[in-house]
Amino acid sequence: MPSENFKALVLRRPAERIEAAVETLTDGDLPAGDVLVRVHYSDVGYKDGLAITGAGHRQLVQSFPFVPGVDFAGVVELSDSVRFKPGDEVIVTGWGVGERHWGGYAKKARVKAEWLVPVPAGMTMRQAMTYGSAGLSAMLCVNALERHGVVAGSDILVTGATGGVGSVAVMLLHRLGYRVHGSTSRAEEEIYLRALGADEIVAAKDISELPAQPLLPERWTGAIDNVGGATLANVLASTAYGGAVAALGLVGGTDLQTTVLPFIKRGVALLGVDSEKCPNETRGAAWRRLVEILPEGLPDDVIEEIGLEALPARAEAIMRGKVRGRTLVAL
């Protein structure tokens, strides 16, 4: 198949600052891999914001030029793998794509076959990227709480509830019959969160700014924490006896100043959730369960669709905490 030109968002670092611009590439510019995918959709998450802006204590992307985009869904165009053939619809999330390996902000991507999972029956490629890593992570968190024995009807806290992971988590928990407490620093988003299924709205500062104590009054049986730092410490201290907290975020910091008391006095479990390198069997099952629980997909008011040109501005907005729900990138 002859090489063709296509558009991509390319990061360059001519000096100290990262610059992002839409450029024209060819198949020959793509990195090595055994599957060539024509990308239909990607999305925007916190890691994409870090990559494009260069924010954080350490730049996420270390080699340039670079095509970011940690997630994408598309159709296999060429394959040297027996697992996939031309025409297969596939999803890529994690495995360092968009961080160390060129990602989904391009019309084409070349990746390793072991990073791919099929788009599940009943889900479109567009729906897959309205979820992306955020939706996959939310599903993995819910699964982790269930495995620990946190049952429907329980009070569950979701921190960072207006973000991508939080929004999907609120919908999943509500649909499964939990009583959902959505925590946010944006009081104006109460209507949005209640529409997703939140029963109670909790101001983020009422958790993060609690006095540092090893144990606090028991408020919920489980939690999905997207924040980390002081928020996670206080969530653990406020979790009821035998409860569990699924943790996957760090926007509030990587330090965890806590004690062993929630664990040895209340039997609270801290469940680490990783969506980047979890086995394909695990992620495939999670994608299929998303279809089962939310067969209609996410509502339109949770999704905003943009093109490549709008990505730099959207990345800046994500880093300022000004984006809610899911941002879909149409290629």
The DSSP element (H or E) to which 271 belongs, if any, is strand 269-272
**pLDDT tens profile 177-189:** 999 999 999 889 9
- Residue 151 has phi, psi (to 5 degrees) of -100, 160
Q: Does pLDDT of 56 surpass 80?
A: no
In the three-class reduction of DSSP (H, G, I as helix; E, B as strand; rest coil), residue 207 is classed as helix
Q: What is the mean pLDDT of residues 146-157?
A: 97
Q: Read off the pTM.
A: 0.93
pLDDT at site 105: 98
For helices 125-148 and 280-293, the axis angle rounded to 10 degrees is: 100
Q: What is the mean pLDDT of residues 299-309?
A: 94
Q: Which residues contact 220 (CB under 8 A, 6 or more apart)?
A: 154, 155, 156, 157, 181, 238, 239, 240, 243
- Residue 300 has phi, psi (to 5 degrees) of -60, -35
pLDDT at site 278: 92
Q: Which domains does the chain have, with CATH numbers?
A: 5-122+298-330 (3.90.180.10), 133-272 (3.40.50.720)
pLDDT at site 227: 93
Please, which pLDDT band fits residue 57 given cuts at 50, 70 and 90? low
